[in-house]
Structure 1
Amino acid sequence: MDESHIEGDLVDVLFTEKQIQERLGELAAAIEEDYAGKDILLVGVLKGAVMVMADLARHFGRHVEMDWMAISSYGSGTKSSGVVRILKDLDTDISDRHVLVVEDIIDTGLTLSWLISNLNSRGPASVEICTLLRKPEAQQMTVDVKYVGYDIPNEFVVGYGLDFDERYRNLRSIGTLAPHVYS
């Protein structure tokens, strides 16, 4: 799906499909260099990271192993309480493994901070984070992110895995959602 299918729902397009693919290629090259001679386990956080993880993995010039987690943070409305529940855990034992958590977006950092602490308790060789998008203005918890595609303003964005009410995930670009859609 492209922008023509949702005319009027976006304020603007932040990143085109081409820009996203180019940036993922650059991130994959940096990751490959940093992990030369080491096996990497990519851990995607469902559902949002599906597109990012699939396309990032395709940019690698070597084998990578993949696994998935689904986690939920509870709170009222759109606010996270910081209370996290694992909905789908890893199928892979990560002890002594080099783990790269792949995210679509980091905003408050509360849920991701919990996830990193949980993964580190399992005895991996290392745990790093790769995210396509980060909202520095929204950050409430400091999370060390090694690989960042783009820093963006604290706005409601959709597309390329990011949704509003399960819609817009399959949009090939990333754009700012018009307030009339969610208000």
Structure 2
Amino acid sequence: MDNKKKNILITKDKIDERVIQLGTQISKDYLGKKLYVLSLLRGSFIYTADLVRQITVPTKIGFMTTSSYGAGEESTGSINVINDIPDNIEGFDVLIVDDIVDTGITMNFVKLRVQSLGAASVKTCVLLNKLERRTIDITPDYCCFDIPDVFVVGYGLNYGDYYRNIPYIFNWEE
């Protein structure tokens, strides 16, 4: 892949600007509420870190690890819970944060899991929304960017075990 030309889809500046906007909106929406941000690892760790630094209301943060991709570019459609929600979230207003929602299978699975644990409310927040790939009827409550059906990496998203550290979103041109 390194010999192919990178096509930058979303620059670091655009990401930074949109994360600030979402953090401000989330802060307004959760004012006076008991906010618990649930970050889905590994892909969302960079996005979550940047986002929660923009949220001004008291926030508890937890991490859950699921897997549906393995090492490939396509979801397997099967969700494996590697590390479950570490805290009692009963009564919390939970905001699930993920890097990307495409088929919607993972987000739907996690949302149902959070609801079953007694959350006061459950909303979703994603960096990228790939609507063309949706197989489950789920719409993120907060979203930075809608993108076309292309395989993307950078800013937490990986190819194999690499490229998460790149500060922008890109794909490779053929």
Give the TM-score of the pair, scaled to structure 1.
Answer: 0.87
5 Å-filtered alignment, 1:1-183, equals 8-73=3-68, 78-179=73-174
Structure 1's consecutive aligned runs of 4 or more residues displaced over 2 angstroms after TM superposition are 6-11, 73-83
Alpha carbons of 1:80 and 1:158: their partners in 2 closer, same or farther (altered >3 Å)? closer
Unaligned 5+ segments in structure 1 are 1-5
- 1:116 offset after TM fit, Å? 0.9
Distance 2:139 2:78 in 1: 20
Q: Which amino acid aligns with 1:146?
A: D
Structure 1 pair 48/56, CA: closer, same or farther in 2 (3 Å)? same
| Cα shift at 1:119 | 1.2
Offset at residue 77 of structure 1 (A): 5.4
Is the 1:159–1:170 Cα contact (8 Å) retained in structure 2?
yes
CA distance in 2: counterparts of 1:170 and 1:74, whole angstroms: 19
Return the alpha-carbon distance in structure 2 between the equivalents of residues 30 and 119 of structure 1. Answer: 22
CA RMSD of the aligned region, Å?
Answer: 2.0
Per-residue CA deviation, residues 107-140 of structure 1 (Å, 9 max, x unaligned), is 1111211111111111100010000100011111
Task: Provide the C-alpha distance between the structure 2 equivalents of 1:59 and 1:76, rounded to a whole number of angstroms.
Answer: 32
Q: Which runs of 5+ in 2 are unaligned?
A: none
- Measured after TM superposition, the shift of residue 103 of structure 1 is 0.7
Q: 1:135 touches 1:153 (CA, 8 Å); kept in 2? A: yes
Give the aligned residue type for 2:142: Y
Q: Distance in 2 between matches of 1:83 and 1:89?
A: 16
Distance 1:15 1:38 in 2: 32
Tell me how far 1:70 sits from its aligned partner: 0.4
Identity %: 35
What is the CA-CA distance between 1:166 and the residue it aligns to? 1.1
TM-score (norm 2): 0.92
Q: CA deviation at 1:46?
A: 0.4
In structure 2, how many angstroms separate the alpha carbons of the residues matched to 1:104 and 1:81? 17
- Describe the shift of the 1:110–1:37 C-alpha distance in structure 2 as closer, same or farther (beyond 3 A): same
- Measure, in 2, the Cα distance between the counterparts of 1:78 and 1:156: 7
> Which region of structure 1 is more displaced relative to structure 2, 10-19 or 23-32?
10-19
State the AA in 1 paired with 2:137: T
Aligned to 2:47, what secondary structure does the other structure show? helix
